[in-house]
Amino acid sequence: MTDTNTIIPGADAIILALQAEGVETMFGYPGGAIMPLYDAMYRFGNQPRHILTRHEQGAVHAAQGFARVSGKTGVCITTSGPGATNLITGLADAFADSTPLVCITGQVNARLIGSDAFQEADILGLTTSVTKWNIRITDSADLLEAVSRAFYIARTGRPGPVVIDIAKSVLVEKIPYNYEICESMPSYHPEPIPDDKKIRRAADWINQSERPLLFWGQGVLLSEASSELKLLIDKTGMPAASTLLGLSAIPSSHPLNMGMLGMHGSYAPNVLSAKADLIVAVGMRFDDRVTSDPSSFVQNARVIHIDIDASEHGKVIQPHLAVAGDAARVLKSLVEYVEPAMHKDWVAEFRALQKIENDKVIVGDLSLETEKIQMGAIIRRLSERFPSNTLVVTDVGQHQMKVARYFNFSTPRQLVTSGGLGTMGFGLPAAIGAKVACPDKPVLAFIGDGGFQMTMQEIMTIIQEGTDVKVILLNNGFLGMVRQWQELFFSKRYASTELLNPDFVKVVDAMGLTAKRISTSSEVDSAIDWLLSHKGPCFLEVATDPEENVFPMIPAGTPVSQMWLEKINTK
């Protein structure tokens, strides 16, 4: 705590508070209402470092990428009005995916609030439904406590985004600097104490089960419970499968890792979930992409649901046993209580279905014998040739599902993608944030041609900051995931999904980034050689098969056990 006799402008106090919270990097875009804070940044020698994005949406997605790979709280700063409203998509994305953010927005002078002043917007009202907490500061006496609480709320319990909306007058008024790190708050109890009796009962059910199946989600990564998860799986011999956001918690190569759940996940865990007699769900929320039709989901199994957020229990699937608590803490106890076991016959059923999926889907997806490049083929080759600690960031669409299926993950927090909201435009700025957080790790950003054009201006952020991101544009000339649904369920009526694209290589080259394009499978290996040898950021456009689809697939509302391995005539 600094001497309380130190009297400084509110803007200076914010900079010192950010330093006290250990913030080293933040992302943002200046404007009138927030200008005093940017002036303070200048006077403090850009400590913390500020990265100027080309759009406020880029700033919030970059902060998300930073938070997702580092485990720290991401910070972004914008001005009032349109600057603040441009954060809303990223806030909704962070809220859906439990990403800790502190977003500081400028607001008009306190005396002007409510007068429809220039660049005034009710950011408090606009962000209430997409934040864990938000607050408007019009009295400078409330400023430092609000900042301290914001960081505490964002990072504790189930993480999430927080907004502090600060009147411009507060930034210039002088206040005593008496900042204290928040360590608790009345009526806010972020981490429930797990009920040991329930954990013991869960262990008994696991010990009694003949066909157990474990589902894990991002909660395992957020609680840094990867080691505990692996210990539980190894000890019990229990097959396990991940949600999209849980990928990388344990290596893809683990013998009991059966792949990904969900609409475009792995065949075996989706189909066999209907035969399981016990489901152990850890740090996941039974999203509709996983359950499809909740009324038919895991009907033959007892369900144990472990989650730090008790409001998730029974929201979609009613568990037979709900354990509220941090995943690492609960799993550590479970490992002590469960008995060693093997489920050879049960695991053999997974292996049999894995072979079917391999023969019908995977072999073709990974082939480099076709003239047109298959997305899965280049993704797998990149996975094999880039270092095992490479961070992988995706946008949203077919390429996202192909990366989830075919990139081999080996270390926790290796994948950054937009899950709950499915935000196109997320990938490029999130990759910038990921690289800034982990400068010593390679970063591959896989992006579709549709999503790239939503935030492609952030290429200039890469250039200005010298951020070493390898951008892989998988260009099929369509909004591919929507086109796939139009093909399968709308008789190939491709309404507003075919894209007239620019020459991406020329565009990116004009911005100042080295770029090249490939269009045939024979060019894949040489292109990867180029990516590996190129020093600094670069851009590879890959022309892919415009008619390529993502299988397996669970049609919306269909029981997961009826997963398709190929196109079925729906007429």
Whether 68 and 430 have beta carbons less than 8 Å apart is answered as yes
260, 263, 454, 481: which one is catalytic?
Answer: 481
Strand partners, 7: 176
Q: Is 64 a catalytic residue?
A: no
State yes or no: is 119 an active-site residue: yes
Nearest to 99 by CA among 128, 135, 75, 78: 75
52, containing H or E segment: strand 49-52
Residue 215 contacts residue 279 (beta carbons within 8 Å): yes
Q: Which two tokens stand for residue 398?
A: 């077919």
Task: Indicate which residue of 21, 26, 56, 458 is catalytic.
Answer: 56
Closest-CA residue to 468 (of 409, 391, 569)? 391
Of the candidates 47, 118, 318, 506, the residue annotated as catalytic is: 118
SS (H, E, C) 246-285: CCCCCCCCCCCEEEECCCCCCHHHHHHCCCCCEEEEECCC
Pick left, alpha or beta for residue 475 (phi over 0 → left; psi -120 to 50 → alpha; otherwise beta).
beta
| Sequence-separated contacts (24+) of 226-231 with Cβ below 8 Å | 226/250, 226/412, 228/327, 228/328, 228/331, 228/332, 228/335, 229/282, 229/327, 229/331, 230/254, 231/331, 231/335
Q: Which residues contact 531 (CB under 8 A, 6 or more apart)?
A: 382, 470, 538, 540
Active site residue 66: no
Of the candidates 19, 119, 453, 562, the residue annotated as catalytic is: 119
Can 371 be counted among the known catalytic residues? Answer: no
- In the annotation, is 44 catalytic? no
Catalytic annotation, pick one of 168, 402, 435, 470: 168
Q: What is the spatial distance between Cα 292 and Cα 299, in angstroms, rounded to a whole number?
A: 13
Active-site residues, by number, are 56, 118-119, 168, 481
